Structure formats: structure tokens, C-alpha cells
Structure 1
Amino acid sequence: MATTRRAGAYQAWQEALQILVGSVHELEEWQDQRYRFAHRVGELLVSELPDQAELASPVLYGVHLTTTGLAYVGQTEQAGRRLRDLPIGESHHLANTIPPEIWERVVVVQWPSILDSLPQSEKERAAALGPRICGLLLEHQTQLRTQPPLNSRRRHRDGRWRRRQLSDSRSLGAVHADDLPLLQERVREAWDELAAFEAPIGGLPVLATAFGRVVFPSALL
């Protein structure tokens, strides 16, 4: 039954796209519609808010779906550029698999803003590691904790996806996974707070805290 339902949904998706791009004019309208929506989501992810400056520093982020919950966790040192591109998908695979129209929320933790509240020893350790390794270890630990499905497999050249054992990773993030325990704890608290917010009714579909923001793309529809 599930296979039949999926096959029918896949066929309906193809037929709907044929209608949406049924002529040159409709193709251009479809392109305009998709880009307007993705651009709006990208702007909400990084632009200045009434109670928060534009995001430019390194961030940890996660994309939730209404169906599966948290589906993807990533990090970037270039929030202003990478988060704007995230829903467009020009340099990121995520939007090619799950279009932003069905993203329920995007959680963004601006983790450098948490460093000031940490003991001096941990701040010095973070400075010694640098933002790249700090971001990677936070990404790895968050993926390990939450097991998002789109981080749990990787593409292979044979055209298939292979299961990843995140606990066996030898990446830079994994190598330094036990570093900065207080930062990891505070980032987890900030993440969980943002992930628990309800979408606002009316106004901008975004909420901000001292350490990040959560955007609700689905509320734009």
C-alpha cells in the first residue's frame, strides 16, 4: 500500500510540474515564484530584525519538516552568504531534495555570541581551535545527538546512498568532539529553545533570541 501511495504521489508531482511549466510564459512564472519564495526565506534567515542585527558570524543551523522533524544539520562560517543560498540551492544539495516550501522551520544558533558567557579557559581554547573547527565540532555533536536523516547517508558514485555511522567519523569535528563542553551545552540549550517555539501568528514568521533565530518558511505560504 505504501509503495502504491508513493508511486501515485510521484506521478502526481510530475504531472503537476508539467502543468506549472506548460509554456514559456508559465515556465518563467514558475521560476519567478520559486525564486521569490526562496529569496524571502534566505532574507529572513540572515537579515536585520527589530531585535537582532544581521547575521554574519559563524552559525549552526537545522532544517525541520512537519513530517520527519529535524531533517538536516549544518554549519557555516559565512552565514550571510550560505544561509541566503540554502533555500535557493545553488551551492547546497538540501533544496534539491526537500524544497523550502515544505520546510516547517529553520533553527539558527549564532554560537560565537555564547562565548562571552563562558569561563576564560574555554574562551581561550575556542580561540586556539578557531571558528572552523569550533563550528565543525558543534555540527558533529548536534548530528550525533539528533541523528537527522539527511546527514545519516552520503551519495556514492554508483548512484546510490550509503549509510553513515556518525559515531565512527574521523572528521575534524569528531576528532575535537570532546573539546569545549560548556560551549556545547549552551549551544544545545539555545538550539532546544529555538526548536520549541511556536510559529508566530501574524507579522514576520521569525523569532529571535540573544543567541539565534528560528524562521518558519511554511508560515509564508
Structure 2
Amino acid sequence: MDDLLRQVPVSDQVHEDAYRAWRSSLTTLLGDASLLSWWQERRYQFAHRVGALLTEARADCSVTVGPVLYGVFASGAGLCYVGQTQEAERRLRDLPVGESHHLANTVPPEVWERVVVIRWPLLLSEAPASEQMEVEAMGSAVCGLALEHTLQVATTPPLNSRRRRTSGDWQPRNLTRSRSRGAIHSQRIPELSRLTLAAWKALAEAEAPKGAAVVASEVGRVVFPSTLHEPRCT
């Protein structure tokens, strides 16, 4: 690791200093077995709270279940990752914990600015009948992949735009030239894609309400984990 750090250009000294400060902080937080237990409890408590806000029923929105698109934003970096799932009730709870998902390993939930969730099946009634038939024919799983691809192309989140290589580095992904199932089928649902992007934009640009951590719409919600560091945010 020290060899890697020595390769960092002088112009990136601020990043190296921040990395060393991060490691030093973790060393302090994990100073003994009791501190490790405290750290584990605190991190899970925060992640569990974020997961609950993403999924549980509220006065202004029903429980989040079934197929959804979701995206995680961090302060500074902006939109980091876009994904989809057919089991929101499980996947969105796992997301901040890091179980079955890599995102929290790179971008910890404590620094997430917002998480946008779109329940895209609720938009189907506004799509043309021809596209509703296309969705029925391709199935929910494939449609979710198609909408995920469309959203990734439109927003270019950095963690979707590269893939790990066995050589230990990263390879850029050209999302516009993808031949994945989602890319191939995305052209079948242009109006549903437009509706989804419009719903996404509305929540992605929503302001965090004072004293609260969630904004709901008819087809989704946006959760602001950043506000949970403030007192009395629900």
C-alpha cells in the first residue's frame, strides 16, 4: 500500500493526506475490542435507519415493495450509482448495510446525500397501451434492466461506468454501446423511459425538508441520509 501511495502525484497530495486521515480515524475507532463492538453497533444502527426510511410505509407513502430503480448521491461527487431490483423490500434494506451489494464498501452510507427510489410499475398506466403490452411480453425483470440501462446512459454515474479487471485496475464501460439485455430491450419502451426519467429528475432535484429525511411522490421517494446526522430528523 505504501508503494501505491508513493506513486500519487504531488498535485494529489490533498487526496493522500485525506486518505491517511481516514485510516488514522479508523485506527482510533477500532482501538480495542470494545471499540470495535461500538463501531459495529453504530454503523448498523445508521444503516438500518436508512434502510427503514427507504422501505417502510409512512403517512405520505405506502411501503416500498417489488420492482424499483434506485440511485445513490454523495455530496460533492453527485450521483454515484444507479441500480434496479425486483425485490425493493429486501434490496433497499441491504443497500446501506453492504450485504449482497458492493456500493457501501466504496461509498459508506454515512456520506450519502440522498437516495432516489422510483417504483416504475406505477408509471405503466400513463404509458401507451402498446408499451404496456411490450412490458407484459418482456417481463418485469427485463423491463427493469431496460429502464436501468436508459437511466444509466442518461446520468452516467461513475460507479456504473467502469468495471473491475482481474489485473487489479478498472476498465471504462461504454454504456451507449452495451449489448446487455437491458440495452437491447430499452428501445421497446421509449415513453415509459421518458416518464421514468421525468419522475427521477423531480426527486433528484427535491430539497431536503427541514426536520425530516424523506420526500415522497406518487411513484417513489427520496431519502436524505445526510440529514440523519442532524437532531430530530424522521
Shared topology, TM-score over 0.5? yes
- 1:21-170 correspondence runs (5 A): 21-170=30-179
Deviation at 1:68, TM superposition (A): 1.5
Distance 2:15 2:146 in 1: 37
Deviation at 1:2, TM superposition (A): 3.9
Residue by residue over 1:124-170, the C-alpha shift from the partner in whole angstroms, topping out at 9 and shown as x without a partner, is 11111111111001000111111110000001111111111111111
For the aligned residue pairs, the C-alpha RMSD in angstroms reads 0.9
1:194 is matched with which residue? 203
Structure 2, unmatched stretches of 5+, are: 1-9, 230-234
Deviation at 1:171, TM superposition (A): 0.3
What is the SS of the residue equivalent to 2:186? coil
- 1:6-17 correspondence runs (5 A): 6-17=15-26
Distance 2:25 2:61 in 1: 39
Deviation at 1:119, TM superposition (A): 2.5
What is the SS of the residue equivalent to 1:197? coil
2:183 is matched with which residue? 174
- The aligned amino acid for 2:216 is A
Residue by residue over 1:34-89, the C-alpha shift from the partner in whole angstroms, topping out at 9 and shown as x without a partner, is 00000100111111111211111200011111111111100000100001000000
Structure 1, unmatched stretches of 5+, are: none
Distance 2:163 2:38 in 1: 34
Deviation at 1:122, TM superposition (A): 1.6
Is the Cα–Cα contact under 8 Å of residues 165 and 171 in structure 2 kept in the other structure? yes
What is the SS of the residue equivalent to 1:87? helix
1:220 is matched with which residue? 228
Is the Cα–Cα contact under 8 Å of residues 86 and 144 in structure 2 kept in the other structure? yes
What is the SS of the residue equivalent to 2:98? coil
Distance 2:18 2:189 in 1: 46
Distance 2:222 2:11 in 1: 33
1:70/1:131 CA distance change after superposition, 3 Å = same
- The aligned amino acid for 1:214 is V
1:38/1:2 CA distance change after superposition, 3 Å = farther
Distance 1:49 1:123 in 2: 29
Distance 2:224 2:124 in 1: 27
1:206 is matched with which residue? 214
Deviation at 1:216, TM superposition (A): 0.3
**TM-score normalized by structure 2?**
0.92
- The aligned amino acid for 1:215 is V
Count of paired positions: 220
Deviation at 1:213, TM superposition (A): 0.3
**TM-score normalized by structure 1?**
0.97
Distance 1:157 1:8 in 2: 28
